[in-house]
Amino acid sequence: MKPYYEQDGITIYHGDCLDLIGAVDANVVVSDPPYGISHPTNYLTRGRSNLAKCNDYLPVHGDAVAFEPKHLMRFPAILWGANHYADRLAASSGWLVWDKLRGDDLDQSRAELAWSSCHKGVRVFTHRWDGFLRESERGENYHPTQKPVALMTWAISFTEGTILDPYMGSGPVLLAAKLAGRKAIGIEIEELYCEIAAKRLEQRVLFGVDT
């Protein structure tokens, strides 16, 4: 299995995680998988540029069908968007809440949830992410469901060992791992995002979460 990218303990594989996950050696999964909600990604076409600079993106691969997480359950895991598929996960008291500091009157959620088998209890991270009103990564728009590196830096603090993100997207989990000096593996089915994540890893040796 040849890596798409490999440097400083961070490895990227281009392919379908269902085919590759059995061959990777990791201790924990931290990921933002497709939720199965057919999330529209044509932001520019839909006129969302009236609110902030935006792009049209590829549809999220696999998002048109209900997400089944059982292939991830052999690992301790933190899974974002799990409120959309919680009926297919084991009961857990461990949840992470990301408060985006958005108004409650918007057509998007104010907060996002992650199911966790890595800790007990509910933890809350507040980090503004509201159009152009961002606490970090202003102007960096790579993926339609992009998460901040700051958020993933917080999330991986509840984990130990080598991190696996089987739905890597633009690579925020891997960037967070690099910041923390952790080993991490990313798998991504869209080669475009493999390229973007690799470039982000190369360019942001000293990634500033307030940039």
Could you report the per-residue pLDDT of 88-124, keeping only the tens digit for each?
Answer: 999 999 999 999 998 887 667 899 999 999 999 999 9
The rounded distance, in Å, linking the Cα atoms of 150 and 202 is: 18
Residues 162, 76: contact at Cβ < 8 Å?
Answer: no
Q: CA dist 47 to 22, 44, 103, 146, Å?
A: 42, 5, 19, 19
**Range scoring the smallest mean pLDDT among 17-31, 88-102, 125-139, 152-166:** 125-139
pTM of the model: 0.90
The rounded distance, in Å, linking the Cα atoms of 27 and 77 is: 9
Could you report the per-residue pLDDT of 199-210, keeping only the tens digit for each?
Answer: 999 985 444 444
Q: How confident is the model at residue 48 (pLDDT cuts 50, 70, 90)?
A: low
The domains located in the chain, with CATH, are 5-203 (3.40.50.150)
